[in-house]
């Protein structure tokens, strides 16, 4: 499924990427498949993070030469887009909207959060690679259906979906950083010591008090639900 797809500007051309028919019935048959390459890249990212996804490592994983990858994706940025849409295939929604659009929208966001926690590289990849593929569009279609009862116009519905997604990505990014910090106790302790030192300098009384009276520790689940409710319950139709 190769092609040269000349593109004048920078970035990824969605038409070249997603609307390409599978025509070539001549010439040497492909030894690999786009699917296998994407799957290998996703596996790498899941296991070792986005930085581990190099063309060389992906090629080694599928047993191909490095440059063979370029027959299946014109460049790495495209490969990242393909990865994002690939995992978005897990976001399949079976239930039709219930009619309670706020509840449905919260379900959408919870699905997204679980999805991003399963693929921790997603928030970072999403922030730079935003060419929606078929799986992403299927999920968008569902979100728009959920928002139908609001009677809002198209631009508003799209904006709400984009903002919810951005919110979830931001939240999960933060959540993952916290979790990583607690898995590196040395670093977390160093940060606590640093903040304590700052709080003790007398010029940060509010910080000092906040650190000395922390209150009950917050769980990511309930905090997420709380912020999400605030955001969604505040949405008004019209």
What residues line the site for DNA (CB under 7 A)?
Answer: 1-3, 24-32, 53-57, 64-68, 70-72, 75-77
Q: Does residue 21 touch its own copies according to CB under 8 A? A: no
Residues whose CB falls within 8 Å of the CB of residue 163, separated by 6 or more in sequence, listed in order? none
> C-beta of 32: minimal distance to DNA in Å?
5
Smallest gap from residue 150 Cβ to its own copies (A)? 12
36 binds its own copies (CB under 8 A): no
Read off the DSSP letter of residue 120.
T
CB atoms within 10 A of CB 123: 21
Phi/psi region, residue 27 (left: phi>0; alpha: psi -120 to 50; beta: rest), is: left
Q: Are 116 and 166 in contact (CB under 8 A)?
A: no
**Least distance from DNA to the Cβ atom of residue 74, Å:** 7
Nearer to DNA among residue 12 and residue 172 (C-beta): 12
Q: Which of 63, 80, 57, 160 lies closest to 127 in space, CA to CA?
A: 80
Find the shortest distance in angstroms from Cβ 2 to DNA: 3
Q: Which one of DNA, its own copies, none interacts with residue 131, CB within 5 to 8 A by kind? A: its own copies
Nearest-Å Rg of the Cα atoms of the chain is: 22
Q: According to CB under 8 A, which residues from 131 to 170 bind its own copies?
A: 131, 134, 137, 140-141, 144-145, 148, 152-159, 162-163, 166-167, 169-170
Q: Give me the residues that bind its own copies (CB under 8 A), please.
A: 8-9, 11, 13-15, 18-19, 123-124, 127, 130-131, 134, 137, 140-141, 144-145, 148, 152-159, 162-163, 166-167, 169-171, 173-174, 177, 184, 186-187, 190-191, 193-194, 197-198, 203-207, 209-218, 223, 227, 229-231, 233-235
């Amino acid at each position: 499924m190769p092609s040269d797809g000349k593109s004048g500007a920078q970035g990824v051309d969605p038409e070249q990427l997603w609307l390409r028919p599978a025509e070539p019935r001549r010439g040497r048959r492909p030894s690999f498949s786009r699917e296998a390459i994407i799957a290998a890249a996703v596996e790498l990212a899941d296991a070792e993070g986005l930085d581990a996804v190099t063309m060389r490592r992906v090629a080694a994983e599928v047993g191909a030469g490095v440059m063979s990858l370029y027959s299946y994706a014109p460049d790495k940025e495209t490969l990242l887009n393909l990865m994002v849409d690939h995992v978005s295939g897990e976001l399949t929604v079976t239930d039709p909207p219930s009619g309670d659009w706020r509840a449905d929208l919260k379900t959408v966001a919870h699905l997204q959060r679980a999805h991003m926690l399963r693929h921790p590289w997603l928030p970072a990849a999403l922030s730079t690679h935003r060419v929606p593929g078929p799986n992403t569009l299927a999920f968008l279609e569902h979100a728009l259906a959920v928002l139908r009862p609001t009677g809002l116009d198209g631009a508003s519905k799209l904006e709400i979906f984009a903002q919810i997604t951005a919110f979830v990505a931001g939240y999960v990014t933060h959540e993952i950083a916290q979790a990583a910090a607690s898995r590196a106790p040395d670093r977390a302790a160093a940060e606590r010591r640093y903040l304590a030192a700052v709080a003790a300098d007398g010029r940060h009384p509010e910080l000092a008090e906040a650190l000395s009276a922390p209150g009950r520790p917050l769980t990511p689940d309930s905090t997420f639900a709380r912020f999400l409710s605030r955001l969604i319950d505040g949405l008004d139709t019209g």
